[in-house]
Amino acid sequence: MPRFLITSALPYINGIKHLGNLVGSLLPADVYARYLRQQQQQVLYICGTDEHGTPAELAATEHGLSTEDYCNKLHDLQRDIYQRFHISFDYFGRTSSKANHEITQSIYRDLEQRGFIKQKAIEQVYSIEDKRFLPDRYVEGTCPHCSDEKARGDQCDGCGQLLEPYELIDPHSAITGSKDLIIKQSNHYFLCLSKLQQDVGAWVDRHKHWSPLTQGIAKKWLQEGLQDRCISRDLNWGIPLPTDNNEKKVFYVWFDAPNGYISMTKEWAEKHAPDSSAWKDWWTESDDVHYTQFMAKDNVPFHTIFWPAVLMGAESNYKLVDNIKAFNWLLYEGGKFSTSQKLGVFMDDALELFPADYWRYYLLSNAPENSDSSFTFQHFSKVINKDLADNLGNFVSRVSALVSKYFSGQIPKEQLAAYTFPVEMKVQVKELLKDINDNYQQCNFRHLINCLKKLYALGNEYITKAEPWKILKNDEKAGADILSTCLILIRIMAVASAAVIPTTSEKLFAVLQLTQRPDALTIQDESLFATVDTSIKTDKALKLFEKITDKQVEDLTQRFGAKKSS
Ligand SMILES: Nc1ncnc2c1ncn2[C@@H]1O[C@H](COP(=O)(O)OP(=O)(O)OP(=O)(O)O)[C@@H](O)[C@H]1O
Ligand SMILES: [Zn+2]
């Protein structure tokens, strides 16, 4: 029986994440994991915070905390918020863990032994006032090409030119503004990626099923030719390089972060599996584990080229990824959401505004799958009001009100015994369920939501056309049959939507007074069409979703239009 390993790109520690991070990595991975579990598959879903690197140190300083304390705090905050979004990790770890230190250092030693590490002195900008080497993007100045005064040492956003820090006119530290900068030489360690080009290229070629976005990015890097890549930094915070030279170097965050997937699995096994060595059979190359990663496009080179190269070079026999579900950007006011620039709608604010299921449903309906997509409150309200409030919510509320009113919540047993689900509708629903199942399986989230939407609409249209409220006045049996069909449809909607809107699905089962969980039934299960013997208890109309008003849209657009202030 296959087993499914799932990881979502590790959220960086420098703040509460935004809706872009949610839709570009965490949410789709969660939906896939939930779907597979619902289909009775064995799943391990691993994620955790990515904690090393300069932005973490700077964020800590900004908050007046040591980097370690800051990371502890932000890790807990992030974990809490993912729980509130019902992201169902099997384990949520940290790249700063002891296990990650050990695994990263051991991978490095293998690479070194096998001749894939070289040393080279490089020149870097050192800020005397900051007492630190400055990464290129923390050097700012005037662009020599377009005179933009806000150019960074890696790139000018004004004209798009790639730059070196020494090319800037009037360079200064982006941290303190100090101009007291010198160029210092420092010995650094490089991964010999150029030696691994062929192996990585052949491996990428074998993955023809990857999406055009994933393949396109991987092939572009390969065509340009892989360059040896620096894996060390002169920082205090990070995983120390186990070198013989008497130097204080740490790994560059890109090198240690993905190893976190492995080390977090190790911690999961130590804490939660019956056998603490269970992590090994998830990560050893074998046919029965199918590994899927979720991320947005900026992370694709790291997961298709750099990290696989590291694992191949180390000849570690660690499992390489089978499928990569990559996303484009979710845009906010025409630009990219940004944690460092505090731009966009952040997950904590989002949950204060609306329940998690609103966001989960909307973000997947608008997922940047084939191209970038834009978030607006206007669009958000349109989708929620139409799909969830007008279709799903309205249908369930009409059905429960009628069953309460005409049958005191319980359709008589003798009528249920004589009832069968209408044949024609069964064909239609089965077809939809097949599409829903396929889209879950293939992680086609926009199509998936479209099918769910059709399912909700089908119920609503059926009851509108059948008009049980009229029929019930003269023919109780015919009316009871229509409502029985509706009750079954509610169960089907709950089961089919369970991975996307888990809380709502549970509420639907609660309305039906079903004791099972909606995710305990598989999506194409024949028993979904059996009669629902319920005793609904609603005295007044049930309101599953609150409609979002034009006034709310206006206020929220205004409130979040400017940069987030804190
Ligand atoms: N606007 C976005 N749309 C979709 N996915 C995104 C977006 N921004 C970030 N992601 C993805 O979220 C995941 C976690 O990202 P990470 O925490 O590293 O933030 P980031 O890419 O540095 O974002 P930011 O620039 O906002 O800090 C990554 O897979 C990243 O590609
Ligand atoms: Zn420029």
pLDDT at 340 over 80: no
- Give whole-number Cα distances, 555 to 105, 552, 561, in Å: 51, 5, 10
* Neighbouring residues of the ion ligand 2, judged by CB less than 5 Å: 143, 145-146, 148, 156, 158-159
> What are the pocket residues of ligand 1 if the criterion is a CB atom closer than 6 Å to any ligand atom?
9, 11-12, 17, 20-21, 23-25, 295-296, 298-299, 327, 329-330, 336-340, 368
Q: What are phi and psi of 298, to 5 degrees?
A: -65, -25
- State the distance from the centre of ligand 2 to the C-alpha of 152, rounded, in angstroms: 9
Range with the lowest mean pLDDT among 28-37, 65-74, 198-207, 309-318?
309-318
Average pLDDT over residues 240-269: 94
For each of the domains in the chain, give its residue range(s) and CATH number, in order of start: 3-114+254-365 (3.40.50.620), 117-191 (2.170.220.10), 377-529 (1.10.730.10)
Rounded Cα–Cα distance for residues 274 and 278 (Å): 8
pLDDT tens by residue, 260-284: 999 999 999 999 999 999 999 999 9
| C-alpha pair distances (Å), 130 with each of 61, 125, 168, 276, 408 | 12, 11, 19, 44, 74
Q: Which residue has the higher pLDDT, 200 or 157?
A: 200
Minimum CA distance residue for ligand 1 atom 2? 20
Indicate the helix (H) or strand (E) that contains 187.
strand 181-191
DSSP 277-330: THHHHHHB--TTEEEEEEEEGGGHHIIIIIHHHHHHHHT--BPPPSEEEEE-PE
Contact between 259 and 100 under an 8 Å Cβ cutoff? The reply is: yes
Rounded Cα–Cα distance for residues 494 and 489 (Å): 9
Is the predicted pLDDT of residue 246 greater than 90, yes or no? no
- Tell me what pLDDT residue 562 has: 56
Closest C-alpha residue for ligand 1 atom 1: 20
CA–CA distance, 12 with 384 (Å, rounded to integer): 30
Total length of the chain: 566
Atom of ligand 1 nearest to the CA of 338: 26
Ligand nearest to the CA of 217: 1
Task: Return the residue whose CA atom lies nearest to atom 9 of ligand 1.
Answer: 21
Q: Given this model, what pLDDT does residue 503 score?
A: 97
Strand 151-152 versus strand 132-133 pairing type: unpaired
Question: How much is the average pLDDT of 370-398?
Answer: 96
DSSP classification of residue 23: I
**Phi and psi of 206, rounded to 5°?**
-75, -10
pLDDT at 201 over 60: yes
CB atoms within 10 A of CB 554: 12
pLDDT digit string (tens) for 437-462?
Answer: 999 999 999 999 999 999 999 999 99
Atom of ligand 1 at shortest range from CA of 11: 17
CA angle, 231 as apex, 212 and 219 as ends, to 5°? 15
**What are the phi and psi torsion angles at 282 (to 5°)?**
-80, -25
Give pLDDT, residue 286: 81
ipTM of model over 0.90: yes
Q: How confident is the model at residue 3 (pLDDT cuts 50, 70, 90)?
A: very high
pLDDT at 107 over 90: yes
Q: Which residues contact 515 (CB under 8 A, 6 or more apart)?
A: none
Write the residue with the smallest CA distance to atom 12 of ligand 1.
21
Number of the ligand 1 atom closest to the C-alpha atom of 24: 5
Token representation of residue 242: 């186990």
CA torsion through residues 55, 149, 346, 297, sign: negative
pLDDT, one tens digit per residue, over 408-423 is 989 999 999 999 999 9
What pLDDT shows up at residue 541?
A: 66
pLDDT in tens, 46-55: 999 999 998 8
pLDDT at 565 over 80: no
Q: What's the CA gap between 343 and 338, in Å, rounded?
A: 5
Beta-ladder partners of 187: 121
Mode of pairing for the β-strands spanning 3-8 and 42-49: parallel
Number of H helices, E strands in the chain: 23, 17
Q: How far is the CA of 121 from the centre of ligand 2 (A)?
A: 29
